[in-house]
Amino acid sequence: MQFDSFSSFIAMGGYGMYVWSSMLVTFIGLGALAIEAKWVRRTLKREAQAQQARAQRIQRAKRASTQ
């Protein structure tokens, strides 16, 4: 362990601002890509559900009209 206390770990020998902002931007960048991928997947799932519901509605309507 290079640092003897948590505050010295945060301070990074006076360079804390630089080191931690780099880490922050890096992980926000990678995280944003992952979250965006999740969001797209969710909208696609909703689309699939809407299509399934629509197909079922059409089938019901067809059955009702033939009776």
Closest distance to another protein from the beta carbon of 59 (Å): 15
Task: Work out which of 5, 14, 66, 67 binds another protein, going by CB under 8 A.
Answer: 14
The minimum distance between CB 67 and another protein, in angstroms, equals: 27
Three-state secondary-structure class, residue 1:
coil
The phi and psi torsions of 60 (rounded to 5 degrees) equal: -60, -45
Q: Can you say whether residue 38 is alpha, beta or left, with left for phi > 0 and alpha for psi between -120 and 50 degrees?
A: alpha
Residues in the chain: 67
Among 5, 7, 33, 59, binds another protein (CB under 8 A): 33
Contact (Cβ atoms closer than 8 angstroms) between residue 20 and residue 12: yes
Task: Give the interface with another protein as residue ranges (CB under 8 A).
Answer: 1-3, 9, 12-15, 18-19, 21-23, 25-26, 29-30, 32-34, 37, 40-41, 44-45, 47-49, 51-52
